[in-house]
């Protein structure tokens, strides 16, 4: 995965708007046309309560198709001939599990099966939540990265994930054995992670023999405003991470990205471009969240 790219925002941003009376679309996971069984693009998103399925002919203009079910913060992976949609599912307002649904065609999904639930002390910090799954195959093992616990942000009026950990299994459906301590945690000295670890999307970069992580940490800025920005991390083992860049890859800006830039999915294209879909929020306690796209193109020699 080449990250020495020249980045630009798609001119049609934001690409996907919530449908009234919804005010939030978040946590995109994308299957591009060259990976899909039917040769079109698929994206799965969540509102406050439900996961929805959209399709596209070009990855830019999207059409809402069907509702998958209750849940949020999903992740899609294919193993053998089956698609697995991992996502967070709340048991009550203060507790959530990570579950998985299965499909052969991306349209008809099974009932959710519980994969992970909060057990460890840090997973119950603030609330008993496990969220934001990301599953990466590592040899014969499956590694499930996830967020847990939360920190309440007063100016937003809701909580965001406080820690990131991981668990491993020889079977994609588990059982998963958890690492006992967080992999990433908040740090008062970290300007981009002084409130919460947020979430991470991890990709194997076989060409460069490394793991690549995109992390949206949760922080307070110099005006004590809650923020989120996307940073890039690298690792040799997917456990211990380094941040080579001093600035975030994507940070809050103006308009629909004014307040926070959140979770993402990175899609390598055959021409060497990297398409990154993400959601951003335009306000704090009152705000709308939408889906946008930034495209990284290889620098010209």
Per-residue pLDDT for the chain (301 aa), expressed as one digit of tens each? 778 899 999 999 999 999 999 999 999 999 999 999 999 999 999 999 999 999 999 999 999 999 999 999 999 999 999 999 999 999 998 999 999 999 999 999 999 999 999 999 999 999 999 999 999 999 999 999 999 999 999 999 999 999 999 999 999 999 999 999 999 999 999 999 999 999 999 999 988 999 999 999 999 999 999 999 999 999 999 999 999 888 999 999 999 999 999 999 999 999 999 999 999 999 999 999 999 999 999 987 4
CA–CA distance, 68 with 256 (Å, rounded to integer): 27
* Rounded Cα gap, residues 164 and 150, in angstroms: 10
- 44 vs 97: CA distance, rounded Å: 19
Burial class (CB within 10 angstroms; exposed 0-12, middle 13-18, buried 19+) of 139: exposed
Structure tokens at 19: 């449908």
Give the contacts of 180 (CB within 8 A, at least 6 positions apart): 120
Contact 66, 107 (CB under 8 A): yes
Distance of CA 180 to the CA centre of its chain: 22
Q: Whole-angstrom Cα distance, residue 79 to residue 168? A: 16
pLDDT confidence of residue 299: 83
The predicted structure's pLDDT at residue 144 = 98
86, two tokens: 């991992």
Q: Which CATH class is domain 5-298?
A: mainly beta
């Amino acid at each position: 995965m080449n990250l020495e790219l020249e980045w630009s925002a798609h001119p049609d941003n934001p690409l996907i708007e919530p449908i009234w009376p919804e005010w939030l679309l978040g946590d995109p996971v994308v299957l591009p046309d060259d990976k899909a069984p039917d040769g079109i693009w698929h994206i799965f998103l969540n509102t406050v309560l439900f996961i929805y399925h959209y399709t596209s002919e070009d990855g830019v203009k999207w059409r809402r198709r069907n509702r998958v079910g209750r849940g949020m913060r999903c992740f899609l992976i294919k193993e053998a001939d089956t698609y697995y949609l991992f996502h967070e599912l709340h048991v009550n307002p203060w507790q959530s599990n990570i579950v998985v649904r299965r499909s052969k065609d991306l349209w008809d999904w099974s009932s959710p099966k519980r994969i992970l639930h909060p057990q460890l002390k840090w997973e119950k910090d603030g609330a008993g939540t496990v969220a934001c799954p990301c599953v990466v195959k590592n040899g014969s093992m499956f590694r499930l990265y996830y967020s847990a616990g939360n920190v309440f942000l007063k100016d937003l009026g809701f909580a965001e994930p406080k820690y990131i950990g991981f668990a491993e299994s020889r079977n994609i459906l588990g059982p998963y054995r958890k690492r006992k301590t967080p992999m990433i945690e908040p740090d008062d000295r970290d300007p981009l992670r002084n409130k919460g670890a947020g979430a991470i999307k991890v990709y194997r970069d076989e060409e460069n023999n490394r793991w690549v992580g995109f992390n949206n940490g949760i922080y307070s800025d110099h005006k004590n405003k809650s923020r989120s920005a996307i940073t890039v991390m690298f690792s040799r083992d997917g456990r211990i991470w380094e941040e080579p860049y001093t600035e975030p890859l994507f940070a809050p800006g103006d308009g629909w990205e004014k307040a926070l830039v959140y979770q993402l999915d990175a899609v390598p294209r055959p021409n060497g471009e990297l398409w990154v879909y993400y959601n951003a929020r335009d306000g704090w306690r009152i705000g709308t969240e939408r889906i946008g796209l930034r495209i990284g193109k290889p620098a010209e020699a």
